[in-house]
Structure 1
Amino acid sequence: MSATTTGSATTTGEPGTPIRHYSSAGSRIFDTLNILFLGGVALVTVLPLLYVLAGSFASEAEIASRPFFLWPEKFVTSTYAYMFENDTMIRALLTTVGVTAVGTVVQLLLTFTMAYPLAKRYLPGRALVLNLVVFTLVFGGGIVPTYLVVRDLGLLDSYWALILPLAINPFYLIIVKSFFQELPQALEEAARIDGCTELGVFFKIVLPLSKPIIATFSLFYAVGIWNDYMSPLLYVNDSSKWTLQVLVRQLTSPDAANAISALDTVFFPVEGLKFAVVVVATLPILLFYPFLQKHFAKGVLIGGVKE
């Protein structure tokens, strides 16, 4: 049996023997300080979320009397009961869910169908189109020109105004194009020899091989639409078509009581309702992200593929 000692680590050369590592005093101090620092950052991040969650279950009197707490003295569920019984709240929640679902499908379809032909080096005019896509990464039209385009297309006060203006993210498009270029061309050529059309190759060969990147950008697009605040604020004037994010903003304004036009009850938990709506607006992302976190990492790796 042979042993090798390097610095503070000792390893054995015999097969099957576990490797033992010894850390120096400086390394242990660094690890301790690193853990304390990252733990402090995590604590600062989590504390506001816990406060909002606790405030959503607290009474109005407790919220007014206690500036900060992580556990309510008495759990109150009347705020959530009021929220889910109010037509404005339910309508905003359903609007957000519907726009997110439809918008994600539309954005994925347009992004993938545009990225696939751009991945073919023999496509005429490919370089020009790619340069135009990259141009939009650097220069944008701005709020006013975009608003004028949406208005002239007759999309104001429509749900499509929340989907179509941002239907294709140029950065995501370039990443998807790079992914398609890495797929085996032999599979596509074999499918064409068997009589498959270009659409058939795309839907029967390319998309089934692209499940990881589909999951990745489904999550990217869904999170972007769910958290979008500017689009409904600019393009939707009808309060019956507000999304949850706009409603959260209205409830945090000084005249929060006027944000709900359907208010017909004496009980109106203004402060608690703010916390509860923030919890409902944040909860879906917090629930889905841990299960799809690996796809975020895969998406970052895919973005490193070179042309």
Structure 2
Amino acid sequence: MSILVIAEHDNAGLRPATLNTLAAAAKIGGDITVLVAGSGCAGAAAAAAAVPGVAKVLSADAAHLAHPTAEDLAAVTLAAAAGHSHVLAPAGSFGKNFMPRVAATLDVAQVSDIVEVVSADTFVRPIYAGNALATVQSADPVKVVTVRATAFDPVAATGGSAPVEALAAPAASLLSAFVSQELSTSARPELGNARVVVTGGRALGSAEAYASVLEPLADRLGAALGASRAAVDSGYAPNDAQVGQTGKIVAPDLYIAIGVSGAIQHLAGMKDSKVIVAINKDPEAAIFQVADYGLVGDLFELVPALVKELG
């Protein structure tokens, strides 16, 4: 078997989800090739080559891949996929953008968001917003798979010495074009990789309360800030802070849900956290069903008291 892993990267280095995806690839077994597609991506290719267990790195370096569209990234993936039995990518927004196009072009069924590798052709994936797990066996000649990063411990980032080969990228499709992007910057950890996450819900009532109540606690704990979909839709927090089925999937060591009711879509994005603490005035809130520790009361009193106790 030969496995192709599509690297998520920033041209200078690998995104953490790539290391989790490589862990899933290692469980499948076989030779692992990593595709790094970008512009000026030598740093990311070198980082991929340094990962133990990687047999080869393909570097597709082209100007039109600086901000690759789904069409262009799918095209270079298909060019690299020849002869491989599996094509894997992280199941975040990166993989969701182009992997369905890869699967459709290959005329195979994509196996999405896997959380376990049973064998080379059998995988476990959550369904019904994570309330059930389905074991899926693929009979397709090429398995196109996206991997939920939080379900696999990352492989080591150093210790390997795989060769790097250049891959000619297909010409730009011109079917769509990158226009612009807005990057939010923060001194806090990135939400998807943070060890501690503090999340606020609609009960906070305003963007001002979201900041004044949650930020002191997050600062004390060195935590990332998250939000429920209701809080994001209400304008309390930015879109990239959303945790849940339609937001980011997180599994930190400590997850603190403040004023979050615990809708099924939100639970799907955080219930794999190692320790869950919930603060809500409603003792019947669904969030308490998955919480390891719960505080019933007014969050505007309990959170400042908790911050004070933390010093």
So what's the TM-score if we normalise by structure 2? 0.21
State which structure, 1 or 2, has the greater radius of gyration over its C-alpha atoms: 1
So what's the TM-score if we normalise by structure 1? 0.21
More strand by percentage: 2
State the structure with bigger RCO (CA 8 A, min sep 6), 1 or 2: 1
